[in-house]
Structure 1
């Protein structure tokens, strides 16, 4: 069939993701490959893209949408900024007068409200700082899985 070149659709790269994992059918002792047999795009709503993907035994319904990029900008808290209530005296942990429970636990192991951060904070404490950028990227999220509903291989899918 000699179609002119300008009649073929132009495809542009959007995103990529792992749709299907390798599985094993224990009843038939068959390995189900992670290949994709068919992809069907569904109607869009709210700017999100929906698609159906299938391998030999499983159909998955995906939502692909733009999300703002979040990255970790630094891994430590700025030591010049005060953290918490650093000026309050810390609680004592002396073993005098401790009461033990029947299971061998210590009743003082329970969370208390009188805990405080030592003056100067915890210099070795590493906390991530997450920053949201103006950049967006497409993220795919599996919304529903239709698995092992039949004994036959899936050759095609339709969204009607």
Structure 2
């Protein structure tokens, strides 16, 4: 049995995200982007953040690591001027399969693979949007074994 036995269907509202982007192997790219993100983030301040999100997707027409896009970002309480190198976009409203991962971030790759497999086994159709890692807490707040990450895969409405 994989990481997850089941999932919840959730409707996420349109969400405005500021982020930095990298390309390549997801674990390596995410591992490099998050420290870079937080190093440039003091200009904004963590108190302005309502959600911390990792977004991953594939560029159509490309394959392999060059097609993999990772965006390390946050949702802010209110709009503000972006620091240099940051971008912004709105994730459209949509339905997602939601999975709760407990523990170390090192398990995120396996969690995504298991989540995709569970959806395939249940014949749930994906839709073309980025997947989301919604970090519900952080290593600054809790021990590693208490970390909570919501894994969200974009699915078609049922």
**Which bracket does the TM-score occupy, shorter chain normalised?**
under 0.3
- TM-score with structure 1 length normalisation? 0.21
- TM-score with structure 2 length normalisation? 0.21
Larger Rg: 1
Which structure's residues are more often strand, by fraction? 2
Which structure's residues are more often helix, by fraction? 2
